Structure 1
């Protein structure tokens, strides 16, 4: 997943910005709160109020003794910088994950105001999981955000179901395209066909956090060097009740078991987070943690629930079974397992009998190799003598 913003078209022009009264009033209030001569800084210039309650602009040559009307005219000429300050200082607010995320969208810490406003005029696009976020700017310097599924990039908003309230995203994320419940909100199963076409900065942040809870917060913590990671052993050690059984996996072979669980649950094909937790502080897992832009700081409920079930299954003693299969049939069984594990079953065409996991080919294998009791090659799971 790219960490770079893209612009919708090449060489966009800087838009004409009219300084809104609320932005100008905010500058007046901010300057009034400062002492005489103390500057309020924007990108490329600063403003202040002198001892005679006149205004000063420092931009190359200083302009002094400005009346409020002259001050307004001077700021109107520099409206992009003023509205940029107003957007992040007053509309967005706090120095935290919300501001960091919205500034990241337009690369505000690496590009000038002029460059960003030119790019915003065309639309700056960012990917966040399966979301496509497009930031634009109005002729008053106000940010607007279009948030939709990445699969719907380029689709006219009129052809999608439009929403305005960030809380509407709670219903969008509940079910996948087949109407099945999504227990993991960061699974790559987000349904498409919807759009939030013109969100304010705060509503854009709330929408993203509703679709992918805590992802922006943890992304910000990681960027600040403050991500608190809870590893596998610590997570499993605090399980109790029906989940307490997972603690038995930390007896000798816990590291190997944790690898299996992470490979099953934490791959990019299953979760869009990038796993940062390991076995413990001193022992890394042997499987890749993924490439997602937002981090996973601890084993989630899906991992813990799966580990509980697999702990019980792994308590069974291994047995040796003898099956009669042709080499092609053995490879077919392996292909079927891979197809199910990778979620590719629905992609296999019914007419494609060359694919080992094809439905008709699999039904043929069942007809040939299963007995009336459903045993592969007629071999029962339990020994005939009932021994364990």
Structure 2
């Protein structure tokens, strides 16, 4: 996911594009009265030596009216309110762009940074962006596709949907207008199974929020992927507070306190196994930034997700609790016969289950080790009536350390 430059205030304006290429065709924009009123409000009580800056010009108030100072023309003084309205109407894209972020979006924080990032507001001129917004600017956020557009009044509108539904007409999808409706959409995957991890790549599609304003679009995204925008913004600002494995596990208590005992021996191989099992891109859309501790990195790649993971999540902690108990069992040696092909088949079955590929293997593909009929044949051949592999019963577990 590309990173824009740091968010800048609209008052500071943006540098004009020095490229000699043909300027993009800006859609016709009418200056809405609320945008003009916002300009007048911003000028009330403002120091005349501190003009309100837009892209390509600035406006200030003086004793004789208003001062209009274009970057590419002569400075005008004594401008009346009516004349100012006419001048700003001619520059409506720049004014409505200021109004959209300064007054509609407001605060300098994650929401503003995210909405500006959606249209590359810190890396392109108003003319370039408005021309692109007229066609629709598309951005990916996890499994979401967000399309930003602009109305003839300079208002931003957003279409939020599953990326798999790109190009599907709105009337062929379930339409929603309240961003909080997304809470129900993210609960289950396409097979109706509960999704304990909201950033798992299992988001079901078939729905759309086709016409959201800036604040509602942000709310919808944060409902689908909680805290991802906030952490993305903290990372951009160099303020991401990472809590590593050791620190997070030390905070566990109650039934999860047992995880703190899982540091037997030297090294952190067990944490590598946890990260490989739970934090791979195929399992989570976040990019793992936490390590074993401040001084010790894991030997597992953190992934390529767009938004950072700042600490082991509840799914990881819950899984680690179970594995802590299982790993406390003492190993046993079991002997049973397998042909070379059967050994490879067991390996194929484990790989297919771990990678979530079982549903992709057709019943007719008996060459696949994890094929259902081939697996049933292996069970019929190698399991006894009690379900023991090779007829060898499992010995009672003996744990190493008592809890």
Taking structure 1 as the reference length, what is the TM-score of the superposition? 0.95
Contact 1:4 1:126 in 2 (8 A): no
How far 1:254 sits from its partner (Å)?
A: 5.8
Q: What does 1:315-330 correspond to in 2, within 5 Å?
A: 315-330=328-343
Three-state SS of the structure 2 residue aligned to 1:70 is helix
Of stretches 312-321 and 254-263 in structure 1, the one that deviates more from structure 2 is 254-263
Question: Cα gap change, 1:382/1:37 in structure 2, threshold over 3 Å: closer, same or farther?
Answer: closer
CA–CA distance in structure 1, aligned partners of residues 365 and 150 of structure 2: 50
How far 1:249 sits from its partner (Å)?
A: 1.1
> Are positions 1:39 and 2:51 aligned together?
yes
Contact 1:50 1:56 in 2 (8 A): no
Contact 1:106 1:116 in 2 (8 A): yes
Select the residue among 286, 293, 296 that pairs with 2:309: 296
The residue aligned with 1:72 is 85
Task: Tell me the alpha carbon deviations over residues 356-381 of structure 1, each in whole angstroms, 9 at most, x when there is no partner.
Answer: 11101100110111010101111111
Three-state SS of the structure 1 residue aligned to 2:262 is helix
Q: What does 1:157-176 correspond to in 2, within 5 Å?
A: 157-176=170-189
Select the residue among 223, 237, 247 that pairs with 2:236: 223
CA–CA distance in structure 2, aligned partners of residues 127 and 142 of structure 1: 21
The residue aligned with 2:9 is none
CA–CA distance in structure 1, aligned partners of residues 269 and 66 of structure 2: 72
Three-state SS of the structure 1 residue aligned to 2:75 is strand
The residue aligned with 2:94 is 81
Contact 1:186 1:272 in 2 (8 A): yes
Contact 1:55 1:67 in 2 (8 A): no
The residue aligned with 1:91 is 104
Task: Tell me the alpha carbon deviations over residues 7-45 of structure 1, each in whole angstroms, 9 at most, x when there is no partner.
Answer: xxxx97421100100000000111123123430001111
The residue aligned with 1:54 is 66
The residue aligned with 2:41 is 29
Contact 1:161 1:195 in 2 (8 A): yes
Select the residue among 123, 136, 145 that pairs with 1:110: 123
The residue aligned with 2:258 is 245
How far 1:149 sits from its partner (Å)?
A: 0.2
CA–CA distance in structure 2, aligned partners of residues 46 and 12 of structure 1: 22
CA–CA distance in structure 2, aligned partners of residues 114 and 295 of structure 1: 32
Task: Tell me the alpha carbon deviations over residues 72-109 of structure 1, each in whole angstroms, 9 at most, x when there is no partner.
Answer: 01001111100000000000000000000000111111
Contact 2:182 2:224 in 1 (8 A): yes
Find runs of 4+ consecutive structure 1 residues off by over 4 angstroms.
none
> Are positions 1:335 and 2:348 aligned together?
yes
> Are positions 1:368 and 2:401 aligned together?
no
CA–CA distance in structure 2, aligned partners of residues 321 and 335 of structure 1: 20
Question: Cα gap change, 1:12/1:58 in structure 2, threshold over 3 Å: closer, same or farther?
Answer: closer
> Are positions 1:150 and 2:168 aligned together?
no
Taking structure 2 as the reference length, what is the TM-score of the superposition? 0.92
Select the residue among 259, 262, 273 that pairs with 1:260: 273
Three-state SS of the structure 2 residue aligned to 1:244 is helix
Contact 1:102 1:201 in 2 (8 A): yes
CA–CA distance in structure 1, aligned partners of residues 45 and 143 of structure 2: 44
Q: What does 1:268-287 correspond to in 2, within 5 Å?
A: 268-287=281-300
CA–CA distance in structure 2, aligned partners of residues 143 and 113 of structure 1: 13
CA–CA distance in structure 2, aligned partners of residues 119 and 186 of structure 1: 30
CA–CA distance in structure 1, aligned partners of residues 201 and 138 of structure 2: 19
Three-state SS of the structure 2 residue aligned to 1:145 is strand
Three-state SS of the structure 2 residue aligned to 1:54 is strand
Three-state SS of the structure 2 residue aligned to 1:295 is strand
How many pairs align? 379
Three-state SS of the structure 2 residue aligned to 1:99 is helix
How far 1:4 sits from its partner (Å)?
A: 7.2
The residue aligned with 1:8 is none
Q: What does 1:176-195 correspond to in 2, within 5 Å?
A: 176-195=189-208
